[in-house]
A and B are shown apart, each in its own frame.
Chain A
Amino acid sequence: MVMEPSTEQHLIEAVKTGDRGALGRLLSEYQYRIYNVVLRMVRHRDDASDVTQDVMLKIVEHIDDFQGRSHIMTWMIRIAMNLAISHLRQGRVRAALSLDGAGPDQGSSGGDAGLYRSLASHIPDHRELRPDLGVEQKESIVLLHRALAKIDIDFKAVLVLRDIDQMDYQQVAEVLDVPVGTVKSRLFRARLALRQQMNRLT
């Protein structure tokens, strides 16, 4: 969902004059995308909600600092990515509720915990994937996301932005605050790392 530039500019101007409705609308326009970027980084829905909440708070607090040098969406995603990375680095991942069973709880077995894991492991993947995909495709995608979770955070970030959020190189560079050349180099290494993880998992 992309807003008309004029509408967006109008909203930003309104926000800067203290219009709370405009700020709310701005957030509502972009929360979907922000949430999805965060979700693909942190993987767990509750974590994603928490981080997205923090992102929105940051946006509210710092909207006055937005200079308009980049697109507002890029600015917001940058905040989202920074917080998601920070979240991951601080290890605040809900390991016990890891959605794909790849977390630290994987080793335990049996009992209610096992059932819970078994249930939880089916919540995001099968529900989210398109019904027209075959079983093998679904499994492959689930595996891919498991591999994505295991690679370096910086690699993961560039893949999420480039492939899942489908940004161009320049936007990725702005979000990650690195040169475009670095984005390309990192992207290539990220793809290799992902493939290596996939080979290990299969």
Chain B
Amino acid sequence: MAGRYDQQTLLGYLECDLSIDARRRFEEQLRLDGPLRKLVNQMVQDRQQLRQTPQVQPPLDLLCEAQEQINQRLERQLLLSETPPGTGLHRHQGVYKRLWVCSGIAAIVIISVSAYFLVGLNPFASSITADDDSLLVSRRGQVELPVYPLPDDPMVGVVASRIDQEKSKPLASADSRGMQPAMGEVLGDMQLDGVEGTASIRMDSKVKKESQEDVVPEDPIGSPGIDAEYLAAISSLVTRSFLELVEIESHATSVLAMHANPPETVAWQLVLTGASTKKCLATLREFANHSKQARLSVVEQFSVEASGASCRVVDDEDEPPIPEVSVATDSLTVVTEKPRPGGSQVAGYQLSAGNHESRGYVLHVRGDQIQFMLEFLNAHGDQSASLRPIGHVPQSDSVQLFLSPANQSKRPVDGMSQPWYEKLPAGNQVDIVFDWSFLADWQPSRDPVWGLFDMEVEAALHVIINELPVEKNRVNVDVMVIQESGVEGKREHQELVVE
């Protein structure tokens, strides 16, 4: 049929680039020609719907692998002595660099030899040196250099600790806008611009283990009734959120293990691993510098009881945030500040146990910034961070999925860095609690949801089954929705078998 018409005009109309007159003429033609009108309307609709195609977040490991390829390429160039592109400048830079290095080494040798002779000739050298230590400290702004014992296994984790240059005026008390440069200064001193006596990095093998204790759930929660309309309104939203989380977590080869003790928190723990701590801190510094809703503050020295949990509340963004206590000093605690009906904002709780005494860092991020932060980290190629919700807020919309693999095998899954399931109790049941408040664009849908809900949950479970240590791919699933009042909903049982 379209052959009967002028293609240019048809396409121009569809693409909205006809002149006003031409458009008017064509619309007149449409008015008189029913079949043409129908075709054009359908094509316009097709075009609009194609343009509504949602953008999909790429897997987190994509860029990481690309980065590896870049590194391999450059290393290969180096090994083969290939001249990299932009050759002349690069080669000259290399020559200058080598000259600088040689000059530096020569200078160090000369200074060392001079110092050796001076010390050897001066009978008061030892006492003067001791005094100089304190003098040096005062010149650096009352910097104290901590001394940490070396760990047994230095490869497990890195503990980064920063010595605040003004202990009497903690950065955490600065206002949120003023926090940005301060935060940059902190991390700049600490991690990025070299150590130079202002920071210390400690290797610690215990922290990770203690952190993992947090993900062991306690008792599952009961399930009173739930309002059907409410359920209909939120379940679609919930499952979307869940799927999204699954996607994020599964690609990060992390796990969906949440804290269920007690379910009164909305904290997210950003876990950094080992040597990547430095890189991730640098990335976060950049993130915080660009995000007006994020600020990074230094936590003062603290002490936590072995069985204790700590919490901090931020009432208002302009108020100084109370430092978050983090026992796991190699982790950043990312606290969502969840908007509430009354307008106040509540920060989360950091639940942890341990007996360390140290400093930590807290990145305060608004709830709706969490997703952005993840994307930011991803975009900067930092795959070292995994984000874990460690609880949820009472009086909020949450869902708990209870997964219990039928097979009790605890064989580690390839690529899983956190064998969280080894910490599961005998019932091998883990509560997955999540909160979608950080997904600002998602609105509750009024779709009739139970069918869709079940299906999407199954689909989601299928994704995460890959992360579960099951051999027969048989998973018992209980799904439960928690009401706004904190009342838990109907608990539906399903058994899922997947090849």
Contact = CB atoms under 8 A, between A and B. Distances in A.
Interface in A143-193: 144-145, 148, 159, 163-164, 166, 184-185, 187-188, 191-192
A190 B57 CA distance: 27
Contacts of B57: 32
Nearest to B61: A49
Contacts of B413: none
B418 interface: no
A18 B499 contact: no
Contacts of A119: 455, 458-459, 462, 498
Interface in B45-100: 45-47, 49-59, 62-63, 65-67, 69-71, 73-74, 77, 84-86, 89-90, 93
A116 B51 CA distance: 29
A60 B73 contact: yes
Q: Is the interface of B mostly helix, strand, loop or mixed?
A: helix
Given A24-B67, A40-B53, A188-B11, A16 B499 contact: no
Interface string A10-24: 000101111010011
Interface stretch (A67-75, A83-91, A100-108, A124-132): A124-132
Interface string B3-15: 0000110110011
B210 interface: no
B22 interface: no
A116 B445 CA distance: 26
A85 B279 CA distance: 37
Contacts of B444: 131
Contacts of A164: 50-51, 53
A97 B498 CA distance: 13
A195 interface: yes
A93 to B, nearest CB: 18
Interface stretch (B186-194, B235-243, B305-313): B235-243
B49 A28 contact: no
Contacts of A184: 8, 11
Given A32-B58, A164-B50, A127 B240 contact: yes
A29 interface: yes
Interface in B283-312: none
B497 A126 contact: no
B39 A27 contact: no
Contact of A36 (B45, B49, B56): B56
B356 interface: no
A188 B10 contact: yes
B54 A129 contact: yes
Nearest to A187: B11
B450 interface: no
Nearest to A192: B2
B354 interface: no
B410 interface: no
Given A23-B70, A27-B63, A53-B66, A195 B462 contact: no
B245 to A, nearest CB: 11
Contacts of B441: 130
Interface of B: 2, 7-8, 10-11, 14-15, 39, 42-43, 45-47, 49-59, 62-63, 65-67, 69-71, 73-74, 77, 84-86, 89-90, 93, 236-237, 240, 243-244, 378-381, 441-445, 447, 452, 455-456, 458-459, 462-463, 497-499
7 contacts: A15-B85, A16-B86, A18-B85, A20-B71, A29-B379, A119-B462, A128-B53
Given A28-B380, A28-B381, A191-B46, 7 more contacts: A17-B93, A25-B380, A27-B70, A118-B455, A123-B459, A191-B11, A191-B14
Interface of A: 13, 15-18, 20, 23-25, 27-29, 31-32, 35-36, 39-40, 45, 48-49, 52-53, 56-57, 60-61, 63-64, 112-113, 115-116, 118-120, 122-124, 126-133, 135, 137, 140-141, 144-145, 148, 159, 163-164, 166, 184-185, 187-188, 191-192, 194-195, 198
